[in-house]
Structure 1
Amino acid sequence: MATIEDVAKLAGLSRTTVSRVINNHPYVSEAKKQLVIEAMKQLGYVPNSSARSLRNQKTEMIAVIIPRVMNPFFGQLVESLEIAASEYHYQLIVCQTLYSAKKELDYLNLLKTKQVDGVILTTLLNDWKQIEPFLDYGPIVLCNEYDQKANIPMVHIDQEYGGYVATTHLIDQGHMRIAYCCGNIKSNVTKAREKGFRKAHSEHGLQIDPKLVFQNVFTFEDGKKVLQKLAALDNRPTAIFTGSDEVAAGVISEAKKLGIDVPTQLAVVGYDNQAITELLDPMITTVHQPVKEMAHKAMNVMMNQIKYKNYKTKEVYQLPLSLIIRNSTCLKSPERLN
Structure 2
Amino acid sequence: MSTIKDVATKAGVSRSTVSRVLNHHPYVDEKKRKAVQEAIKELGYTPNSSAQRLRGTETKTIAVLVSRIVNPFFSAVVDAMDEVATMHSYRMILCNTRGRADQELHFLELLRTKQVDGVILASIVNDWETIYPYLQYGPIVLCNEYPRDLHGAPVITIDQKKAMTTITKHLLHKGYDSIAYCNVYDVNHLPEGVRSPLAEDRYEGFVQTMKSEGKVIQSSWRFSGHSVDDGRDILRTILGLSNRPNAIITGSDEIAAGIIAEAKVKKVRIPEDLAVVGFDNQPTATLLEPQLTTIHQPTFEMGKQAMEMLLTLLANQNEQYESVTFLEAPIQIRHST
Are positions 1:224 and 2:238 aligned together?
A: no
Residue 124 of structure 2 corresponds to: 124
CA distance in 2, matches of 1:153, 1:82: 19
Give the letter aligned to residue 107 of structure 1: F
SS at match of 2:254: helix
Q: Deviations over 1:271-307 (max 9, x none)?
A: 0000110111101000001111111111111111001
Contact 2:50 2:317 in 1 (8 A): no
Q: In 1, Cα distance between the equivalents of 2:141 and 2:326?
A: 14
Per-residue CA deviations over 1:3-36 (Å, capped at 9, x if unaligned) read 79999xxxxxx958xx9x98799999xxx99x96
SS of the equivalent of 2:99 reads: coil
- Rounded to whole Å, the distance in 2 between the matches of 1:322 and 1:5 is 54
RMSD: 2.9
Q: Secondary structure at the match of 2:279?
A: coil
Aligned CA distance change for structure 1 residues 232 and 223 (closer, same or farther; 3 Å): same
Tell whether the 8 Å contact from 1:139 to 1:311 is kept in structure 2 after alignment.
no
CA contact (8 A) 1:4 1:15 kept: no
Cα pair 1:54 1:114 within 8 Å, conserved:
no
Partner of 2:168: 167
Instruction: Please tell me whether the aligned partners of residues 65 and 119 of structure 2 are also in contact (alpha carbons under 8 angstroms).
Output: yes
Change (3 A) 1:114 1:311: farther
Inter-partner Cα distance in structure 2 for 1:154 and 1:47: 27
Contact conserved, 1:140 with 1:311, CA < 8 A, in 2? no
CA contact (8 A) 1:240 1:268 kept: yes
User: What's the CA shift for 1:46?
Assistant: 2.3
Matched positions, count? 315
Residues 65 and 95, structure 1, Cα contact 8 Å, conserved in 2: yes
Structure 2 CA distance for aligned equivalents of residues 51 and 297 of structure 1: 23
List aligned pairs for 1:180-329, cutoff 5 A: 180-184=181-185, 185=187, 186-215=195-224, 217-310=225-318, 312-329=320-337
Give the structure-2-normalised TM-score.
0.85
Task: Provide the secondary structure at the position in 2 that maps to 1:249.
Answer: helix
> How far apart in 1 are the matches of 2:54 and 2:184?
38
Instruction: State yes or no: 1:92 paired with 2:92.
Output: yes
The Cα shift of 1:146 comes to 2.7
Match of 1:134 in 2: 134
Q: Residue type of the partner of 1:171? A: L
Do the aligned partners of residues 46 and 224 (structure 1) sit closer, same or farther apart at CA in structure 2, a change above 3 Å counting? same
Q: Note the C-alpha offset of 1:123.
A: 1.6
SS state of the match for residue 280, structure 2? coil
Runs of 4+ more than 4 Å apart: 3-7, 21-28
Residue 62, structure 1, aligned to residue 51, structure 2: no
SS in 2 for 1:299: helix
| Conserved? CA contact 1:138–1:311, under 8 Å | no
Task: Specify the SS of the correspondent of 1:64.
Answer: strand
Q: Partners in 1 of 2:219 and 2:141 — Cα distance?
A: 35
Residue 159 (structure 2) aligns with? 158
1:181 partner SS: strand
Aligned CA distance change for structure 1 residues 6 and 310 (closer, same or farther; 3 Å): closer
Distance 1:46 1:247, change over 3 A: same
SS in 2 for 1:95: strand
Against the structure 1 CA distance between its residues 234 and 92, is the aligned structure 2 distance closer, same or farther, given a 3 Å change threshold?
A: same
For 2:106, the equivalent position in structure 1 comes to 106
Q: State the distance in 2 between where 1:43 and 1:264 align.
A: 66
Alpha-carbon offset, residue 328 of structure 1: 0.7
Provide the secondary structure at the position in 2 that maps to 1:270. Answer: strand
What stretches of structure 1 of length at least 5 have no aligned partner? 8-13, 330-338
Q: Deviations over 1:230-251 (max 9, x none)?
A: 1111111110000000110011
Is the 1:63–1:93 Cα contact (8 Å) retained in structure 2? yes
Post-superposition offset of 1:148: 4.4
Displacement after TM superposition at 1:45 (Å): 2.5
Unaligned runs of 5+ in 2: 13-17, 188-194
TM-score, normalization: structure 1? 0.84
Instruction: Write the letter of the residue equivalent to 1:192.
Output: D
2:177 is matched with which residue? 176
Structure 2 letter corresponding to 1:117 = D
